[in-house]
Amino acid sequence: MKNSFFYLVVGFLLIGLPAVAQDKSAKVYIAKVGKGGALTPQQMKRRNDEIKFQATNRINKNLVDLLNTLTFDGLGDAERIALMQNSFLPSPNQIFSGDDVVIEDDIDPSHTSAEGAVDVDVEKYLRNMDLFYVKSDTLTIAFSQLIVSDVQEGKDYPYVKVFFTQTFRSKNKQVDRAYQPVRRVAELKAEVVDGKWRTFITRLAFLRPGEALTQLTNPTILQADGPKKPLDSKEVSFRKADNPIDSLTVKWDTQWLSVVRSTIDMIPTGYYRRGITTSKSQDNISITLSREDQQLTFRRIDGSTVGFTQARSIVGDEKLRQRSRRRLSGWLQVATGLVSLGASYAGYAYLQKQYDGYSHQVSALNADYAIWQTLAQRPDTSPLVTMPFTSYAQPGIYAVYGGGVAGGGLLINGIRLLLKAGK
């Protein structure tokens, strides 16, 4: 009887606790990358020097001339429209790669950093410049402190960044606030036009914290096939742990992960195939999803990692809070169940000990009675009958059994809540 109760408690622990201790393993997705074309070192240096030269001229001459001309007081309306359109449409004066270029607005003097930046397309940006920036008959826009990054190998073309300080000396017609010098960054793609390298602006934005020159060439995913069918899963956004402005948008299934959008140059868009472990080869990059897909870790080709946390919605936060409540309730019930089972076991052991003492006394009395019966020659009398354990232990045994059943129920329900909470 005593051993069966002990085995019951052990059974609860063996069945329940391993299930609670289970943790979903992290998911690792790997992509093979390349870092440039088949040029000799000398050819690569000549190419990169030319691209950096063209990029410097594109910003320090073409872009600043465009903005100063657009804000010149003596320009006619037809000339302004032609000037704007020729800057992003195919023409000898094209500066931007196309009308889909996104620019972080700096025409509003209150916009001075990437925090809370407003994105507009290039045409709207130039129209806002024409409408809201006070025109002058002198040059009021200047760029200084230009720094050019190393040429990076993109998926479809080489690109380069130009960092500079921008100064607006005029005023905004709508906002009564003086302009402050701001740090800007322009990203330019390079392509060969009529046998010569030309650069075109693909992005114009505020300089983000940590966005600087890098000697490590950003990778390009070589794998082009990907899954046979598009991934049938929702897009999920992740934000950089130390800088929430930078983000990734990804979607995944059991075999593939797709980086749909990335604001960070080091993380290329494309497909990553599910692997067993993180590859340490410099030909591979990887993305690991962990902690119930709430955390994303990107591993670069040099082995360094960048951490991201899933951007939570209101619904997601409520689900996490509900999961936390379930987990807390589950652990409380498991703890209470174990305490109840322990108390029941202790009570049972105490009653069993008392019953053993009682049985021993009855046996001793019956032994003495048997001797007396022989000496007195009274065979007709019967010895004492030992009471059953359940009768002797009443009413305490009911409390012991009730506590055991209640403790077992709490333990099972607690384990169920922990499993439901995804522990």
With bands split at pLDDT 50, 70 and 90, how would you rate the model's confidence at 215?
Answer: very low
pLDDT (mean) for 215-239? 77
306/242 Cα distance (integer angstroms): 9
Q: Is the pTM of this model over 0.85?
A: no
Structure tokens at 282: 């410099």
pLDDT the model gives residue 189: 94
The 8-class DSSP code of residue 171 comes to -
- Of how many residues is the chain composed? 423
- Lowest mean pLDDT of 160-164, 234-238, 326-330, name the range: 326-330
With bands split at pLDDT 50, 70 and 90, how would you rate the model's confidence at 43?
Answer: confident
pLDDT the model gives residue 340: 84
* Residue 259 reports pLDDT greater than 90: yes
pLDDT the model gives residue 20: 43
Comparing 25 with 121, the larger pLDDT belongs to: 121
Helices (H), 201-313: none
Structure tokens at 198: 């030309």
* Residue 29 reports pLDDT greater than 50: yes
203/216 Cα distance (integer angstroms): 21
* Residue 33 reports pLDDT greater than 80: no
- Lowest mean pLDDT of 8-17, 120-129, 264-273, 363-372, name the range: 8-17
pLDDT the model gives residue 21: 44
pLDDT the model gives residue 26: 84
Q: What is the CB neighbour count within 10 angstroms for residue 37?
A: 10
